[in-house]
Structure 1
Amino acid sequence: MAESLDLETPPPAAGAQPYRVLARKYRPQSFKALIGQDAMVQTLANAIRRDRIAHAFLLTGVRGVGKTSTARLIAKALNCVGPDGQGGPTIDPCGVCEPCRAIAEGRHIDVIEMDAASHTGIDDVREIIEASRYAAVSARYKIYIVDEVHMLSKAAFNGLLKTLEEPPAHVKFLFATTEVNKVPVTVLSRCQRFDLRRIPATLLAEHFARVVEAEGAQAEPEALALIARAAEGSARDGLSILDQAIAHADLAGGGVSADAVREMLGLSDRSAVRDLLGLVLAGDAPGALAALRRQYDLGVDPLGVIRALLEAVHGVTQVKVGAPDDMAQPAEERGAYRDWADKLSFPLLHRLWQLFLKGHEEVQRAALPIETAEMALLRAIHASTLPDPGELARRLASGTMPAPAAVAPVPPPAPPSPADRVPSEFAGVLALLDELNKLELLVRLKRGASLVSYAPPEIVLSGARPLSTDTLTELAAVLREATGMPWKIAVADAPGAPTMFEAEQDAVQARHDAARAHPIVAAAFEAFPEAELIDPKPAKRSIT
């Protein structure tokens, strides 16, 4: 499980062996050596003990977390016969019987590995289907390990479905993929799925320490922590970086140091990043730009500097919310984060995060990365000197904000000369449309225009009664032509007056109510309950 980091490398064959890279040399040879995947190992162990072994497994996760290694371990677990040759399936394969050794060395005839990236067609799948009909030659199960299964063609997936759903009892399928979203749901539904997690940096650092010790090398803990962070949860990526770091250290005549790893990976020195963040928070623009240029001259990628600043802001925020200390960080870094956490507010930290994140995106796609990084720093410096909105409100409420300097009032612009036909109120606009025979536009405005304000040549209508853009544009054009002056028709998020149609309906209802209140009309309604009040038809045409 995760507590055990026993490397358990397979015994080397007799004779001189060529050098094997660490990522291959230290592949886990048992589930105990598989780090960071406790939940999956527990599930498999229970399934094997209860004889509830699925006929197909799908292993998914980012690169280097152990998908193919896990598939080989499952193959060993299912085919192990024990040292005496009498054992059955077990979560702890012995590693010494012939099936275990043959599978570890990749030569077992009944464990077939296929790379779907180079065998994508239906013909490749047909070979699997035909071969699966025959019993295993020497093993308990015939096992097919298909790596990067999402690369299979649609026809290949379809050809595999029937066999995958009802395989022979002696056949097991083990699929591995980094892009599970590309695997058809018809395949997913026929497999038992395991999502392998990214391996935590602390476990990776411990694992790398064991590897360094096994290799007879030396490495600083901080160097291993840097490698673990750079691996981003991938054991294979981390071992490849460690391999390079050990080779670099050998050439330098010493152990793997943190400074050497930073130089090798092009990482910004963490103390330099803290100094840079301090300059940003102090509002020292010249100092911050000079510090950034020093990092750039040393070969540090500007994108790496912005990323390191993001990590620093995140680290300070973690401390401020009370998260436990990251022991992989140097003591002086933890102390600096605690100091900043005491001084900086959450709004400022969130603002810095957003600014650096935006800067990271800009630098990533910029034609001039260092110049873009400098502009991102200047933007953050400017923002860091501004009070957050809450503090600004408190200052205004307490009267501690400095009074603005007296400014001479600017005279309003001279109002435009009104034309003869400029209506004095909005109802006049509707009357003008009626006069101009713009009846369709008039009907739309009478039913939908809710007036907020009318100050020629500007009309503000309520957005609560949305009118189409074409209606507003047409109204402005008609008024401009009729009055000889440009009009601005705006929409505001504010309640407005009733529409002209609603006002007319209210007036009608008021007249009816007043009429019903008259004694004669009331008596008429008592005598004729089914009677109703109607208005006389208007003399001019109705446009409602």
Structure 2
Amino acid sequence: MPDSFDLGEPPQPAKAEAYRVLARKYRPQTFAELIGQDAMVTTLGNAIKRDRLAHAFLMTGVRGVGKTSTARLIAKALNCIGPDGQGGPTIDPCGVCEPCRAIAEGRHIDVIEMDAASHTGVDDVREIIDASRYAAVTARFKIYIVDEVHMLSKNAFNALLKTLEEPPAHVKFLFATTEVNKVPITVLSRCQRFDLRRIPAEKLAAHFAEVCGKEGVTAEPEALALIARAAEGSARDGLSILDQAIAHADLDGGHGVSGVTADAVRQMLGLSDRGAVRDLFAMLLAGDAAGSLASLRRQYDYGVDPVAVLRALLETVHGITLTKVGAAPDPAQPVEERTARIDWATGLSFPVLHRLWQLVLKGHDEVATAALPIEAAEMALLRVIHASQLPDPGELARRLAEGGAVQAVPATPAIAATPVAATAATAPEPAPSLVPETFEDLVARLEDSGSLALAARLYNGARVVRYAPPELMLSGSRPMTADTVAELTAALKLLTKQGWRIGFDDVPGTPTLKEQEDANAEAKRLAVWDSPMIRAAREAFPETVLEDWPGKRRLA
């Protein structure tokens, strides 16, 4: 038989590289890649250039803003030797020298990372103290990175204090924590502290777009904006959501991901559709109970959490209020959303918006803890609709004060089923006069219009010399600041549709509204005290006292 041939091991298929999640793959490797923390980078760069480096740094902030990444970047910046091996500390580490590569890969012998959550005791800290006495093996500095440092025990912190205050020249401590309030003040005072900010949503969306480009994935801008808002300022959380959205996206014939859509992201996150929320909000304002409940049930059947619906309504009320005060619009919002908010801001007053906010907020809290969430959400919406048919609180107070009847009224025509209808609705006939008859009525009108602080200042401090609209003369014994006078002038012009002249005279003037109400309350108290029934009780029980007699004191 012919000799057999040894062909060796059959060829093995190449081992596929393990997938790395986006949050790890796109961890910043340079300070230029660290988004949203420009002030901290500038401070560190200046400290390195001027050789004014602290011996201990503390990075604090919410999850995912780059605390541990910043600590590793500082380690690289302090130990970088440059491509030629002759460089010194720099805010722009080269990333190619052996110290930079070893630190990035987590294998540098002189850069020690410790998780304080699993090393909380004195013995763990004692190891750091003992090792810190010895010089670095290969690096310029021996660096200790302690993550979640607030988890150290009280004794561990105390053991570290002396070394932290006077460490050897070759040692640097880098601490990271999400709960800086749990770090002892004695430790904080020995560290240079950096508060890392939440990353703005627009910067996160731009970062996610760049990541999608590198991954060969197309994504709708609105989808990235939704992910950025859901991340709540955390780059790591946002990248994790983006990772999930890419996996959730449809496949294009098996050749790759076709794209991340806003609808898919909403479905994945359980967010309420913005169009459905606008329709629901319009039905609430119109008092359409059946339509509102049907809209809520449709979203619930699609898998939307009732709490998410109430949260979306809160965001809508908040957005309309900001639009009404002239805040800049969110560029990530769809055009339809911005247009609807502008229309609603035109048709809704501040008192109505504040009342809506309180009603929806109360409903949100109830639904979040309810045993029957969808039923609680329905009751909350019905409460909002019922409140829309009640008179304004200021009008209600005046009717009660005048002894008039209080009746429910239909939804005002200015609050219609859709924003377009709201602008087209017929406005109610104007009142015969916009000017309040008395100074007290004027203060009440200011309060009802939302100018609570201004109304309170007038109620407590203004002594009227002459009230002859559009002129108001006040006593100079209670002077007002120029800002208050300007604010009052603008508020009165907006309230009465005419300009006012406000002056001061050096005469006492009438008592303030608060002083008048206090005097009235005291007069009522004395009248009760001297009444025959109370006088008989005082004679029978000499120690009888009359408890505090409450006055009106609406703005006190």
TM over 0.5: yes
Q: Cα distance, 1:394 vs. partner? A: 8.8
Q: Which residue of 2 aligns with 1:64?
A: 64
Q: Does 1:254 align with 2:362?
A: no
Q: Which residue of 1 aligns with 2:286?
A: 282
Q: Which residue of 1 aligns with 2:135?
A: 135
SS at match of 1:429: helix
Query: Contact 1:462 / 1:494 at 8 angstroms: preserved in 2?
Result: no
Going from structure 1 to structure 2, the CA distance change for 1:16 and 1:138 (only over 3 Å counts) comes to: farther
What number of residue pairs does the alignment pair up? 413
How far, CA to CA, are the matches of 2:362 and 2:313 in structure 1? 12
Q: Does 1:430 align with 2:547?
A: no
Q: Cα distance, 1:375 vs. partner? A: 1.1
**Cα deviation 1:317-356 (Å, max 9, x = unaligned):** 1111111121101111111111101101111111111111
Q: Cα distance, 1:154 vs. partner? A: 1.0
Query: Contact 1:462 / 1:493 at 8 angstroms: preserved in 2?
Result: no
Query: Contact 1:116 / 1:146 at 8 angstroms: preserved in 2?
Result: yes
Q: Which residue of 1 aligns with 2:177?
A: 177
Q: Which residue of 1 aligns with 2:459?
A: none
Q: Which residue of 2 aligns with 1:329?
A: 333
Higher-Rg member (1/2): 1
Q: Which residue of 1 aligns with 2:97?
A: 97
How far, CA to CA, are the matches of 2:227 and 2:50 in structure 1? 40
SS at match of 1:172: strand
TM-score normalised by structure 1 residue count? 0.73
Q: Which residue of 2 aligns with 1:42?
A: 42
Q: Cα distance, 1:429 vs. partner? A: 2.7
SS at match of 1:268: coil
How far, CA to CA, are the matches of 2:392 and 2:207 in structure 1? 44
For 1:428, the aligned partner's letter is: A
Q: Which residue of 2 aligns with 1:195?
A: 195
SS at match of 1:143: strand
Q: Does 1:270 align with 2:378?
A: no
Query: Contact 2:390 / 2:407 at 8 angstroms: preserved in 1?
Result: no
SS at match of 1:140: coil
Structure 2 gap segments, 5+ residues each? 1-13, 409-530
SS at match of 1:246: helix
Q: Which residue of 1 aligns with 2:7?
A: none
Query: Contact 2:61 / 2:197 at 8 angstroms: preserved in 1?
Result: yes
Going from structure 1 to structure 2, the CA distance change for 1:430 and 1:52 (only over 3 Å counts) comes to: same
Query: Contact 1:462 / 1:492 at 8 angstroms: preserved in 2?
Result: no
Query: Contact 1:217 / 1:255 at 8 angstroms: preserved in 2?
Result: yes
Q: 1:291 aligns with which of 286, 292, 295?
A: 295
Query: Contact 1:85 / 1:97 at 8 angstroms: preserved in 2?
Result: yes
Q: Which residue of 2 aligns with 1:220?
A: 220
Q: Which residue of 2 aligns with 1:17?
A: 17
Q: Within 5 Å, give how 1:485-500 maps onto structure 2.
A: 492-493=550-551
How far, CA to CA, are the matches of 1:237 and 1:91 in structure 2? 27
For 2:264, the aligned partner's letter is: A
TM-score normalised by structure 2 residue count? 0.71
Q: Which residue of 1 aligns with 2:121?
A: 121
Going from structure 1 to structure 2, the CA distance change for 1:183 and 1:402 (only over 3 Å counts) comes to: closer
Q: Cα distance, 1:45 vs. partner? A: 1.0
Q: Within 5 Å, give how 1:383-402 maps onto structure 2.
A: 383-390=387-394
Q: Which residue of 2 aligns with 1:381?
A: 385
SS at match of 2:326: coil
How far, CA to CA, are the matches of 1:328 and 1:288 in structure 2? 27
How far, CA to CA, are the matches of 1:359 and 1:425 in structure 2? 47
How far, CA to CA, are the matches of 1:29 and 1:424 in structure 2? 87
How far, CA to CA, are the matches of 1:67 and 1:316 in structure 2? 35
Query: Contact 2:396 / 2:406 at 8 angstroms: preserved in 1?
Result: no
Q: Cα distance, 1:431 vs. partner? A: 3.2
Name segments (4+ residues, structure 1) moved above 2 Å.
14-17, 250-254, 384-397, 401-405, 423-433, 491-495
Q: Cα distance, 1:180 vs. partner? A: 0.7
Q: Which residue of 2 aligns with 1:369?
A: 373
SS at match of 1:134: coil
Q: Cα distance, 1:379 vs. partner? A: 1.1
SS at match of 2:249: helix
How far, CA to CA, are the matches of 1:494 and 1:29 in structure 2? 64
Q: Within 5 Å, give how 1:334-349 maps onto structure 2.
A: 334-349=338-353
**Cα deviation 1:396-416 (Å, max 9, x = unaligned):** 99x9x98989xxxxxxxxxxx
**Cα deviation 1:53-90 (Å, max 9, x = unaligned):** 11111111110000000000111111111111111111
Q: Cα distance, 1:272 vs. partner? A: 0.4
Q: Does 1:359 align with 2:363?
A: yes
Going from structure 1 to structure 2, the CA distance change for 1:494 and 1:42 (only over 3 Å counts) comes to: closer
Q: Which residue of 2 aligns with 1:420?
A: none
How far, CA to CA, are the matches of 1:94 and 1:386 in structure 2? 68
Going from structure 1 to structure 2, the CA distance change for 1:16 and 1:403 (only over 3 Å counts) comes to: closer
Query: Contact 2:399 / 2:405 at 8 angstroms: preserved in 1?
Result: no
Query: Contact 2:245 / 2:268 at 8 angstroms: preserved in 1?
Result: yes
How far, CA to CA, are the matches of 1:344 and 1:126 in structure 2? 64
Q: Which residue of 1 aligns with 2:107?
A: 107
Query: Contact 2:76 / 2:93 at 8 angstroms: preserved in 1?
Result: yes
Q: Which residue of 2 aligns with 1:161?
A: 161
Query: Contact 2:110 / 2:141 at 8 angstroms: preserved in 1?
Result: yes
For 2:148, the aligned partner's letter is: E
Query: Contact 2:217 / 2:258 at 8 angstroms: preserved in 1?
Result: no
Going from structure 1 to structure 2, the CA distance change for 1:332 and 1:391 (only over 3 Å counts) comes to: farther
Q: Cα distance, 1:424 vs. partner? A: 4.7
Q: Within 5 Å, give how 1:368-517 maps onto structure 2.
A: 368-390=372-394, 424-433=532-541, 442=542, 444-445=543-544, 449=545, 461-463=546-548, 492-493=550-551
Q: Which residue of 2 aligns with 1:522?
A: none
How far, CA to CA, are the matches of 2:538 and 2:247 in structure 1? 86
Q: Cα distance, 1:385 vs. partner? A: 2.9
Q: Does 1:303 align with 2:294?
A: no
Q: Which moved more, 1:14-23 or 1:29-38?
A: 14-23
Q: Cα distance, 1:235 vs. partner? A: 0.3
Q: Cα distance, 1:386 vs. partner? A: 2.8
